[in-house]
A and B are shown apart, each in its own frame.
Chain A
């Protein structure tokens, strides 16, 4: 409650606004402008989490998005259900009044964590533990290992209700997008702004300034604040520039399609008050001609024994907490560094009244910062290693020792230095994530011991500047910002005026890092003995784990990553990767560039799913296509089935009726009297032109040239590979016009397939294709009373069997509506498909229902349709076929026009393999017990191979599978269809279907037609 570590003055926080918040149930106070992490540190709280695998106590290590340890769940009370968010970085979460937060990975609580038992068991959880555990018996995995791991591991807790927040999407175009509004990005924006280009400057932080927020250096003769404000004012004047703060550029995709997440209301005390229409976040998709990456650099830590104790953090983080938030990390600080730049933090700490010691791993330390520290009387140990950090829940001290010349071993007396925090720096890594996402490669710069951006990719051009390019001196960065903006403008042919050249005050920064890279600090014991050397905090990967992986012969860094889990989870190795590569390079004896890096993938930082979904969750996720009669189906209690994007009535249960009973009732109605199906969803394509018949002749297997006007024909469509791809009935409307129907789900694919051939192969054919699927509504009436009903509503057509034959169609007036009647049948019963213009669909449907009442007209859905067609053995493409079955396999050789000159698939059908007798072939399957309905997908095996136990040790050779299976009242028993090796010649043979419950169900193969084998009904 006291903020005892808050400095009396300074920082960018607003001391007039006190905010209270909770962390693990305890209430704390901070200021507006704080992050949760800075407010916790102000209150002396360092222990904020437990590690993923060993449940080690972990503290805040950074002051930014790269934080691996300080993960918190936000909005954690019951009253905030629907807004909870897991795994936020406390170092990046803005404080607001009343914010509730909770640590992750701690059970039962942070201070007494039962999972720390894992730490005692550490030697049993080495690298590759998960993979090795998979190799033990599955029983042991399921019963023992997995439950234990699940209980102890895992990060934050997600909400168990839907997200109630609102999110928006925003699309933008820009000439130049500049990522990062630090000194480099600001200078780039100024230059770009003057050209008149459309410029967007994106900054993830709450305000512009970048490193100046931590280290406010005088620029252009102004103090940092004034300089930033001046530039901001200049940009605000330019109406071609948009500056977006609190916005993270998360991804770069092909041709510079950028995604950016803008946090709009999270930082407000009342995030979404009534009437406040602002979304919680906006998801921006920006198409940019050029992208300037001024994303800066991350500091990386040195790796030493017990380097994960709370209180050990990045040197730059110590500096940020002091300068930006006015918070002292502790009273006694030890700075462990290997470069000049990091000493800035030690100076700031000393100036703030902290007791400071510097341990410099370099043999010499001579830069301007060193001189200042020595002048301030700070104890300075050069060529020293940190042997081991001491403490349990907070660092209490450090054992240091002199090193030998090459820094591989200690060479001298150990001594212990008391401290309550350690600021560590092993150098800096340019933030190259976005550069790499664009597809560009990295180069290794030995002078600064880091990867820097390589040449950009021409299709997705980005240019890096400043720290992101490996320029760590402020003056270099300022120059490069303006240079790179000019370069970007040149690339898109926009003239730029004079570059604005500014410089920072002379003594501000050392000219270069003077880095000495020691990837692993020498200690008195090897890495495998005593305390651990942590490389990846978030995944608990140690130096010993990496060494073990190499001993087990892992070589590729991508493999080592997966084996050890290095660089996974929410921080994606932002702080750990280079250290790991350095250690691997020492162990493998190869250079870092030869090891290479792992892949950088979007998003740059974790992104809320809700923001990506925007306004399109739930029903808005995808288009729902409904038929003109849809509302009737809804009113009459239909359940729906998705077929492609269509909502099709599945079945119409009466109150209390099971699915089985409803489907059975619907099927019986069709066979005994009258049923009606909404068939509007079938694909319908007009094929028109002088060569329409020739075209159909080439795309279907059978003959079409002589089909008379007014007649219909079933067609089977193959791919070039000879396999069935679609089927349907086409009608000849005129000499030069056909109406083709396709399967509901196949319509779009068939149209595209046909267009491809017309436009690219058969350009001489004069044919046009037009999709009319949605122009027609179709009611299909089926059953013995179908003609009686239609006769009542249609007076201008003679419906008698001789006048209107099966497979004919006629123009007609039905219920006063203009219609086309097709006498075709997918049920094998007497059937008429009545097509009317779509807007007349509901009128037709209700007229049929009303007039059909006397026949007990029963609406039936797709499930009954499937049963009825199965009773007749009619195939459903995609259910009974799977893209590997040809017409002969389906016993449909009768539809193949062998003497036709050509059709798609013809040549493939002549291949020897296509008529191989042991191919899977289409057969009927009857169970020994007529009441047993087989599960679809069930496998068939030979009688002699029938397994004797539920889980046979040896695999049994499969003979085939069940593709369709139903109860059929018309057949008085269960029926099934399936594909069986050589099945056509095996009718009458008995096979066995082993069931999941261990039973062997005997079945007999037979014909595929179960009802009305002679086909009398449909011709009736």
Chain B
């Protein structure tokens, strides 16, 4: 069971107080004023990076301060590398373990 430091409460708390939300840093495209075609929109809605390695994730301190914040987690070892507040720049870049491409090739996957 993970120990996660909430960057708002500034405390390391057990996993049961938190809930995983989704991939971090995936803003709504419409907000950016970029109209997307159906294909690109569907990618945004349905595809997740699903990184094996260091990933940026959004979590919610659901049983605590109710704040959403970001976590840099190694999905292989479950090491929490860093946590930071929404809107802040990730302190560590994402990376996949050796042999895994950094970004998923949607075109290839969709044939």
Taking Cβ atoms with an 8 Å cutoff, the residues of A that contact B are 253-255, 257, 287, 439, 457-460, 720-721, 752, 755-756, 759-761, 763, 902, 907-908, 911-912
Tell me, rounded to whole Å, the shortest Cβ–Cβ distance linking B13 to chain A: 12
For chain B, residues 13 to 67, give those with C-beta under 8 angstroms from any C-beta of chain A. 14-15, 19, 21, 27-28, 30-31, 36, 38, 41-42, 45-46, 58, 60, 62, 66-67
Cα distance A908–B42 in the bound complex, in angstroms: 8
- B41 contacts A459, C-beta separation under 8 Å: no
- B38 contacts A759, C-beta separation under 8 Å: no
Closest 7 CB pairs of A and B: A459-B79, A257-B1, A459-B77, A254-B78, A255-B3, A759-B68, A457-B77
- A756 contacts B42, C-beta separation under 8 Å: no
7 A-B contacts (beta carbon < 8 Å): A460-B78, A720-B28, A720-B45, A759-B86, A761-B28, A902-B30, A908-B45
Q: Which one of A254, A457, A912 contacts B1 once the chains associate, using CB atoms below 8 Å? A: A254
- A908 contacts B78, C-beta separation under 8 Å: no
- A911 contacts B78, C-beta separation under 8 Å: no
- A255 contacts B2, C-beta separation under 8 Å: yes
- B77 contacts A907, C-beta separation under 8 Å: no
Residues of A contacting B15 with CB < 8 Å?
A: 254
- B38 contacts A911, C-beta separation under 8 Å: yes
Residues of A contacting B30 with CB < 8 Å?
A: 902, 907
Tell me, rounded to whole Å, the shortest Cβ–Cβ distance linking A721 to chain B: 5
Cα distance A104–B86 in the bound complex, in angstroms: 58
- A760 contacts B58, C-beta separation under 8 Å: yes
Cα distance A759–B24 in the bound complex, in angstroms: 13
B82 at interface, CB cutoff 8 A = no
Cα distance A907–B35 in the bound complex, in angstroms: 10
Cα distance A760–B86 in the bound complex, in angstroms: 6
Residues of A contacting B66 with CB < 8 Å?
A: 755
Cα distance A308–B3 in the bound complex, in angstroms: 47
Seed contacts A255-B78, A761-B27, A911-B41; 16 additional CB < 8 Å A-B pairs: A254-B15, A255-B1, A255-B2, A439-B77, A458-B77, A459-B78, A720-B45, A752-B21, A756-B58, A760-B68, A761-B28, A763-B86, A907-B30, A908-B41, A908-B45, A911-B42
Residue of A nearest to B22 (CB): A756
- B60 contacts A756, C-beta separation under 8 Å: yes
- A912 contacts B38, C-beta separation under 8 Å: yes
**B: contact size bracket:** 20 to 34
- A755 contacts B60, C-beta separation under 8 Å: yes
- B67 contacts A759, C-beta separation under 8 Å: yes
Known A-B contacts A763-B87, A911-B38, A911-B41; A755 and B3 likewise in contact (beta carbons under 8 Å): no
- B87 contacts A756, C-beta separation under 8 Å: no
- A761 contacts B45, C-beta separation under 8 Å: no
- A752 contacts B77, C-beta separation under 8 Å: no
Residues of A contacting B79 with CB < 8 Å?
A: 457-459
Tell me, rounded to whole Å, the shortest Cβ–Cβ distance linking B71 to chain A: 13
Cα distance A720–B42 in the bound complex, in angstroms: 10
- B74 contacts A459, C-beta separation under 8 Å: yes
Cα distance A760–B41 in the bound complex, in angstroms: 19
Residues of B contacting A902 with CB < 8 Å?
A: 30
Residue of A nearest to B41 (CB): A907
Residues of A contacting B68 with CB < 8 Å?
A: 755-756, 759-760
Cα distance A911–B41 in the bound complex, in angstroms: 9
Residues of A contacting B31 with CB < 8 Å?
A: 761
Residues of B contacting A458 with CB < 8 Å?
A: 77, 79
Residues of B contacting A457 with CB < 8 Å?
A: 77, 79
Residue of B nearest to A285 (CB): B1
Q: Which one of A257, A459, A721, A756 contacts B21 once the chains associate, using CB atoms below 8 Å? A: A756
Residues of A contacting B3 with CB < 8 Å?
A: 255, 287
Residue of A nearest to B67 (CB): A759
Residues of A contacting B60 with CB < 8 Å?
A: 752, 755-756
Cα distance A912–B41 in the bound complex, in angstroms: 12
- A752 contacts B62, C-beta separation under 8 Å: yes
Cα distance A834–B74 in the bound complex, in angstroms: 51
In this complex, which of B1, B14, B60, B87 has the most chain A Cβ atoms within 10 angstroms of its Cβ?
Answer: B1
Residue of A nearest to B15 (CB): A254
Cα distance A459–B71 in the bound complex, in angstroms: 15
Residue of B nearest to A901 (CB): B30
Tell me, rounded to whole Å, the shortest Cβ–Cβ distance linking A227 to chain B: 38
Residues of A contacting B74 with CB < 8 Å?
A: 459
Cα distance A752–B21 in the bound complex, in angstroms: 9
Known A-B contacts A459-B74, A459-B77, A459-B78; A253 and B1 likewise in contact (beta carbons under 8 Å): yes
Residues of A contacting B45 with CB < 8 Å?
A: 720-721, 908
Cα distance A156–B2 in the bound complex, in angstroms: 36
Contact bitstring B1-16, A, C-beta under 8 A = 1, else 0: 1110000000000110
Residues of B contacting A907 with CB < 8 Å?
A: 30, 36, 41
In this complex, which of B27, B45, B58 has the most chain A Cβ atoms within 10 angstroms of its Cβ?
Answer: B45
Residues of A contacting B87 with CB < 8 Å?
A: 760, 763
Cα distance A459–B66 in the bound complex, in angstroms: 25
Residue of A nearest to B85 (CB): A759
Residue of A nearest to B38 (CB): A911
Cα distance A911–B31 in the bound complex, in angstroms: 18
Tell me, rounded to whole Å, the shortest Cβ–Cβ distance linking B73 to chain A: 9
Residue of A nearest to B46 (CB): A721
Tell me, rounded to whole Å, the shortest Cβ–Cβ distance linking A767 to chain B: 14
Residues of A contacting B27 with CB < 8 Å?
A: 761
- A460 contacts B77, C-beta separation under 8 Å: yes
Residue of B nearest to A721 (CB): B45
Tell me, rounded to whole Å, the shortest Cβ–Cβ distance linking A362 to chain B: 42
Residue of B nearest to A904 (CB): B28
Tell me, rounded to whole Å, the shortest Cβ–Cβ distance linking B33 to chain A: 11
Tell me, rounded to whole Å, the shortest Cβ–Cβ distance linking B45 to chain A: 5
Cα distance A26–B67 in the bound complex, in angstroms: 65
Residues of B contacting A720 with CB < 8 Å?
A: 28, 45
Tell me, rounded to whole Å, the shortest Cβ–Cβ distance linking A438 to chain B: 10
Residues of B contacting A912 with CB < 8 Å?
A: 38
Residues of B contacting A760 with CB < 8 Å?
A: 58, 68, 86-87
Residues of A contacting B62 with CB < 8 Å?
A: 752
Tell me, rounded to whole Å, the shortest Cβ–Cβ distance linking A285 to chain B: 9
Cα distance A257–B14 in the bound complex, in angstroms: 10
Cα distance A721–B67 in the bound complex, in angstroms: 24
Residues of A contacting B80 with CB < 8 Å?
A: 255, 459
Known A-B contacts A721-B45, A911-B38; A752 and B19 likewise in contact (beta carbons under 8 Å): yes
Residues of A contacting B58 with CB < 8 Å?
A: 756, 760
Residue of A nearest to B87 (CB): A763
Residue of B nearest to A459 (CB): B79
Cα distance A460–B77 in the bound complex, in angstroms: 8
- A254 contacts B2, C-beta separation under 8 Å: yes
Residues of B contacting A287 with CB < 8 Å?
A: 3
Tell me, rounded to whole Å, the shortest Cβ–Cβ distance linking B28 to chain A: 6
Cα distance A458–B78 in the bound complex, in angstroms: 9
Cα distance A759–B61 in the bound complex, in angstroms: 12
Residue of A nearest to B62 (CB): A752
Tell me, rounded to whole Å, the shortest Cβ–Cβ distance linking A898 to chain B: 15
Tell me, rounded to whole Å, the shortest Cβ–Cβ distance linking B52 to chain A: 14
Cα distance A907–B36 in the bound complex, in angstroms: 9
Tell me, rounded to whole Å, the shortest Cβ–Cβ distance linking B36 to chain A: 8
Tell me, rounded to whole Å, the shortest Cβ–Cβ distance linking A1011 to chain B: 38
Cα distance A193–B95 in the bound complex, in angstroms: 41
Residues of B contacting A459 with CB < 8 Å?
A: 74, 77-80
Cα distance A908–B43 in the bound complex, in angstroms: 11
Residue of A nearest to B12 (CB): A255
Cα distance A927–B78 in the bound complex, in angstroms: 55
Residues of B contacting A756 with CB < 8 Å?
A: 21, 58, 60, 68
Cα distance A459–B79 in the bound complex, in angstroms: 5
Tell me, rounded to whole Å, the shortest Cβ–Cβ distance linking B96 to chain A: 18
Tell me, rounded to whole Å, the shortest Cβ–Cβ distance linking A700 to chain B: 17
Tell me, rounded to whole Å, the shortest Cβ–Cβ distance linking B32 to chain A: 11
Tell me, rounded to whole Å, the shortest Cβ–Cβ distance linking B92 to chain A: 14
Tell me, rounded to whole Å, the shortest Cβ–Cβ distance linking B34 to chain A: 11
Cα distance A253–B15 in the bound complex, in angstroms: 12
Cα distance A279–B82 in the bound complex, in angstroms: 41
Residues of A contacting B21 with CB < 8 Å?
A: 752, 756
Cα distance A756–B87 in the bound complex, in angstroms: 13
